[in-house]
Amino acid sequence: MTYRAKKNFVSILPYAVWMAMMILLPATPECYAARTLVTLIILLPCLFYLEHHHGVIHRNSTFKPELVWGVLVGMLVLAIWVWPEQFDWYRKWCIYGDGGTAAVDESEMVYKIVRLLGSAFVISIAEELFFRRWLMRFAGFWLMVALFAVEHDRWLVGAIAGMLYGWLALRKGLLSAIIAHVTTNLALGLYVLETGNWQFW
């Protein structure tokens, strides 16, 4: 495998495994936990390879600006994700499917915590490697945004999130985009657990 092909492979693999398991396995809390564990096992060596050999995660000498930008954009995406739910037109035209709402609502707390951690620290990072690290370079900014929108049932806010994460990756680096995505998913998960708005999960 060539140098470039190996970089692309480790950027794609965690997300590809996640999606394959999502398609092949039932949408149950137990399967979500299995998907999270398997993807994490694959994600960690991929992250290590990218950082150790290519320094693609953290290139700057200081961590603070990346953290600040990531948290700010992450919280902005959270607000954009939650706020439009109050409008009838948004619920009618900008959301498709019901997701695993009932299964998550009825699951034991341990599976809710696994979902919180998996959403915040596993799939968000896998998505950033795939969408912002690989796809945006391979296919361009706007195709990345379109595919990121299609991946989410809330396609309109998914597109806006894709634009914001993509802008952050281009301007501030991939680490900032990862921090932003982790922030959004972690805060959204905590919001869901606190309010019982399971439609977001």
pLDDT, one tens digit per residue, over 176-188 is 999 999 999 999 9
Q: How far apart are the first and last CA of the chain?
A: 38
For helices 64-82 and 174-195, angle between their N-to-C axes, nearest 10 degrees: 40
Degrees to nearest 5, angle at CA 200 with 117 and 142: 90
pTM over 0.85, yes/no = yes
Buried b (16+ CB within 10 A) or exposed e, 168-179: bbeebbbbbbbb
pLDDT, one tens digit per residue, over 71-126 is 999 999 999 999 999 999 999 999 987 655 667 888 899 999 999 999 999 999 99
Q: Is the pLDDT of residue 149 over 70?
A: yes
For the segment 35-45, the average pLDDT, to the nearest whole number, is 98
| pLDDT on residue 62 | 60
